[in-house]
Amino acid sequence: AGEWVVDELEAVNDKTGQVYFTGRMDTPLERHLYVTDLEGSKPQRLTDRDGMHGISFSRDASIYVDSSSTANRPTQVSLHSADGKQLTWLEENALDENHPLTPYLSDWVEPEFGTITNDDGIDLHYRLYKPAELKGKHPVIVYLYGGPHAQVVNNAWGGNRGLLMQHWVSKGYVVFSIDNRGSNYRGKAFEEPIYKAMGSVEVDDQVSGVKFLHTLPYVDKERIGVYGHSYGGYMTLMSMFKAGDYFKAGVSGAPVTTWRLYDTHYTERYMGNPNTDSDAYEASSVFPYAEGLQGPLLIYHGMADDNVLFTHSTKLYKHLQDAAKPFEVMDYPGKKHSIRGKQTGIHLYHTITNFFDRHFDVK
């Protein structure tokens, strides 16, 4: 679509010639519904509320269901006619006195969104939570993912992890995320630098984010940690191993450690054939950089993970042990990639939080 990304073709009305699609014409941080026609007229936005919209049309394209949220508004579900007019709420999910979130709204911190420019002159979107009361220098947790076809910085409800970030902010942490090159909804030119080069420009852009944090008067640059899961776990390792001067402690969840062990259909799309592109695979593995580990590192993994196999972590455990590099471990027997289960999730979030509290001296 030129300067912006089309997410999905949602419906076509054969009788009127109208075409309905979701995209990012207004901002990469929000998904909206637009309508145009088969002649290519200028798209008109139909969704009037801010945020992220998931659309499901009827077969005749006469009505649709809109599931929408923002970073500060949980998901609401509404029914609309094809011209965008709301017909009724299906689930208003209003933040009234009966909502389970209401008792905590007085302490709710709204994120700030902005952009920085990296060393290559490319604008990167960030999200920043800061404590309501700024007193002196605050520690930071950088939450990242960084991989292709994914986005962290957006105006959408954050679910359990978003609530975890609110908890961190209430303890005095600054919580920061930035979408590096290689991530989604910025177009092909923004994503393609990681082709056959995973773990490279992503780290550079995350470092650009930390350099920005260094300019904030309330940030303690000696207490900047990093946390991610899956590709984010891989990115945590790469950030700790390659940029330890910037990232002082890290939590790596279910990390890929070598792309030779990951799903072929995913990996070869971005990394090529391991038989003909072996140098790229070696450069994108965490092992060549592990000697660079400086700060405290916690690795956790579900031992029944059928996505990123547990052997990714055990190979790294041995490698770090052989290099006499200290690290911490919390593995979850019987758990798969997402470490599901209410009590297990509570245990995991406590483990992550306690790790940063200990190493950053947060009470």
What pLDDT sits at residue 75? 98
Q: How much of the chain exceeds pLDDT 70, in percent? A: 99
Which of 337, 338, 347, 357 is catalytic? The answer is 337
**Does the annotation mark 337 as catalytic?**
yes
Give residue-wise pLDDT tens across range 117-157: 999 999 999 999 999 999 999 999 999 999 999 999 999 99
Give residue-wise pLDDT tens across range 154-199: 999 999 999 999 999 999 999 999 999 999 999 999 999 999 999 9
The beta strands (E) that lie in 199-311 are given as: 219-229, 249-253, 297-302
- Rounded average pLDDT over 322-333: 98
Residues 6+ apart with CB under 8 A from 180: 124, 144, 146, 201, 202, 203, 204, 205, 206
What pLDDT sits at residue 291? 98
- Torsions phi, psi for 7 (to 5 deg): -80, -55
**Does the annotation mark 179 as catalytic?**
no
Kindly report the length of the chain: 363
Give residue-wise pLDDT tens across range 70-105: 999 999 999 999 999 999 999 999 999 999 999 999
- Rounded average pLDDT over 267-272: 98
Is the model's pLDDT at 294 over the cut of 70?
A: yes
Cross-sheet strand order for the sheet of 52-57: 52-57, 63-70, 73-81, 86-91
Mean pLDDT score across all residues of the chain: 97
What pLDDT sits at residue 94? 96
Q: Is 322 helix (H, G, I), strand (E, B) or coil?
A: helix
Instruction: Locate the domains of the chain by residue range.
Output: 6-91, 109-360
What pLDDT sits at residue 305? 98
Task: Name the residue with tokens 């965008």.
Answer: 84
- Which residues partner with 56 through β-bridges? 65
CATH number of 109-360: 3.40.50.1820
What is the reported pTM? 0.96
Is the model's pLDDT at 1 over the cut of 60?
A: no
Displacement of CA 227 from its chain's centroid (Å): 11
Residue 168 CB burial class (10 angstroms; 0-12, 13-18, ≥19)? buried
Which of 305, 312, 313, 359 is catalytic? The answer is 305
What pLDDT sits at residue 40? 83
Nearest to 356 by CA among 192, 164, 209: 164
Which of 68, 183, 208, 230 is catalytic? The answer is 230
